[in-house]
Structure 1
Amino acid sequence: MRYNLPPLNALKAFEATGRTGSLSAAARELRVSVGAVSRHVAILESYFNCELFERRHDGVHLTQWGKPLHASVATAFETMDAACRDVDSGTSRPIRLRTFTSMATDWLTPRMGDFRKSRPDLPIQLKQAFSDISFALEPLDAAVSTQTILESGIRQVELFPTVFTPVVAADLKTDSSDSLLTGRNALPLLFTRREIPFWEKLYDAMGLGTPAFERGLEFDSLSLTYQAARRGAGVALGLLFFVADDLASGSLVPVSNTCLDVELPQYLYIRSGRKKHPGTQAFTEWIQSEAKKTNDALNALFGTVLTPPVKTIVSH
């Protein structure tokens, strides 16, 4: 049977706009411009030769023609989504996990072998995220991020805090932390643009003035700064959980006993309800256990690698 339907993208834009009551909210969800959503709605209104939305100061509202159409379109999308999920869950597919580069490289990947040994029946498909993570737009089962994801049907599990301290290669450490971070003989700062405010807060807390970024080296990810620091290229901003293995082995050491808690916890996000992958509970229990092991290891290092008294400041 051949179906006489308007463009699918126009129907998607219409459904999202009607559900959210906002062109801008629909645009954010679909990751397109507001203008693109507006054009898709206009295509449908031209197709049916009627107004589907009434534009008001508080948003857009479905008209008498838009309401029944939206109900049918929403039901159709829900039916298609359920059918796709049924097929998806009936196959032995991997848990689809998304996270950012540094989390994947410096903490998660080195531990994945243990999960594979304990659960060889649960393969993981790990992909890097390069923008905001969305379960609504991607076929994901889980994600690890500091990002706040407020989508429906998604469960949030806190893994560990984001606490920074400056670190260097062990053979560069001196008795004076100030001399490594400021002055004529200071080491280059290995930084990413995103973490510049955290450097500034640390310097302020340590009474060191302004960081000399112009004499440093800028990278795309924290992971690259840690690689450079291990080779003696300068001082990196060590996220304690990401450099925990380096601190334990001695390949990196803290420059000072000052730490910065930026109040952006690392979260695990997983689907709940019928959309949940059957293996995500086992993965959740495993990753929580690994986070606790790392936390315990870091606590054991306090007083040895991190010389007491350790001063932790909070970034507001």
Structure 2
Amino acid sequence: MRHHLPPLNALRAFEVTGRTGSLSAASRELGVSVGAVSRHVNLLEDYLGYKLFLRQHNGMLLTQGGELYHDQIASAFDLIDNASRSRHVGTKHAIRFRAYTSFATDWLSPRLPDFRRRHPDIAVQLKQSLNETNFASEPIDAAISALPVLQRDVLSVDLFNTIFLLVCADGGTRTRALEGDFFSADAPPILFARRERPFWEQYFDRMNLPAPPFANGLEFDNLSLTYQAARNGAGIALGQLFLVADDLMTGRLVPAARACVELDIPHRFVYRTGRDASTDVNALKCWMLDQASQTKAQMTKIRAELDHL
């Protein structure tokens, strides 16, 4: 039997746009540009001879005919998906994902239950490491990196840039920090990890302050421990804004400075492509981008409120 089918790429673009209600969300899930998704939708509308969406300023709304067609198309894609999955029973492995400690502990881990709710059939095996991932020699599907991607069959998307802000628990420590009291004999100690010392120096330099008083501070093994100590009132930590945004929104931490310092150090989601790629990595990538977008909205609000301290 010969089938009369529209272009399959156009069908897929329509299905995802209808499900997400957004061309930009569909472009992220499909890994193509917003313009490409829009062209596919227009192509399908021309093929069918009627409008599938009402274009609105806040998204894409299915027409009555579009909603009926979408229900039928979505069912067809579900059948294809189920048939494809059934051929791989027993061979599917968890996404092997590597992230540095503070990213895994302070940003990713609290959000992973949401990924599990959205994708109950996808397992994630999270490993913590400070080393860069070599996809050519290591069994890793995706990683977090601050370095440019120079490896074959590996792509990346930017999640966050590096923005620093001094943070502490609310109270007297904050008052003294806002007054610039870092150097007196009884000043609140700075809480630092050895690897972060250069960033403290850059922060103080940008704020036109003398060198950080490391000798009177408390040194920790990693950044996450400095945040935990700050929450407990031990002193002042240098917060990566995206890592401490949740704490700042809930009041577990408060700003200890009136300004941020931004460095050109991006934090990227890096993932394997080609024949060795995990088929589930795209779902993880899209989810990461969505979560990062929500965190960046928090960061914008936090920075705006610094002007009122």
Q: Is TM (by shorter chain) over 0.5?
A: yes
What residue number does 1:144 align with?
Answer: 144
Alignment match, 2:100: 100
Partner of 1:295: 296
2:209 aligned counterpart, secondary structure = coil
Q: How far did residue 268 of structure 1 move?
A: 0.4
Contact map agreement 2:178 2:258 (CA 8 A) in 1: no
Give the match for residue 13 of structure 1. none
SS in 2 for 1:187: coil
CA distance in 2, matches of 1:212, 1:105: 27
Where does residue 200 of structure 1 map in the other structure?
201
The residue type equivalent to 2:187 in the other structure is: A
Residues in 2 aligned to 1:259 and 1:302: alpha-carbon distance in whole angstroms = 8
1:107-256 alignment, distance < 5 Å: 107-171=107-171, 172-174=173-175, 177-256=178-257
Give the residue type in structure 2 aligned to 1:111: R
- Aligned-partner residue type, residue 112 of structure 1: L
Note the C-alpha offset of 1:183: 2.3
* Cα pair 1:179 1:186 within 8 Å, conserved: no
Unaligned runs of 5+ in 2: 1-87
The equivalent residue for 1:263 is 264
Matches of 1:300 and 1:89 in 2, distance apart?
A: 46
The SS at the match of 1:170 is: coil
Structure 1 window deviating more from structure 2 (132-141 vs 227-236): it is 132-141
Partner Cα separation in structure 2 for residue 206 and residue 178 of structure 1: 13
Partner of 1:49: none
Aligned to 2:138, what secondary structure does the other structure show?
Answer: coil
CA gap of 1:207–1:183, structure 2 versus 1, over 3 A, is farther
Task: Report if aligned partners of 2:192, 2:217 keep a CA contact under 8 Å in 1.
Answer: yes
Cα displacement (A) at 1:300: 2.0
Q: Deviations over 1:194-237 (max 9, x none)?
A: 21121112212222211110111111111000000001111100
Distance 1:215 1:175 in 2: 16
Aligned-pair identity (%) = 44
Query: 1:146·1:266 contact (CA, 8 Å) conserved in 2?
Result: yes
Note if contact 2:144-2:269 (Cα within 8 Å) is conserved in structure 1: yes
How much has 1:89 moved relative to structure 2?
A: 10
User: How far apart are residue 176 of structure 1 and its match?
Assistant: 5.6
How far is 1:175 from its partner? 6.4
TM-score, normalising length: structure 1 = 0.66
Q: Residue type matched to 2:233 in 1? A: G
8 Å contact from structure 1 (residues 89, 277) kept in 2: no
Between stretches 254-263 and 219-228, larger displacement belongs to 254-263
Larger Rg: 1
Q: CA 1:221/1:176 → structure 2, altered by over 3 Å: closer, same or farther? A: closer
Q: Residues 160-199 of structure 1: CA distance to partner in whole angstroms, max 9, x if unpaired?
A: 1111111111123216624442323321111112211211
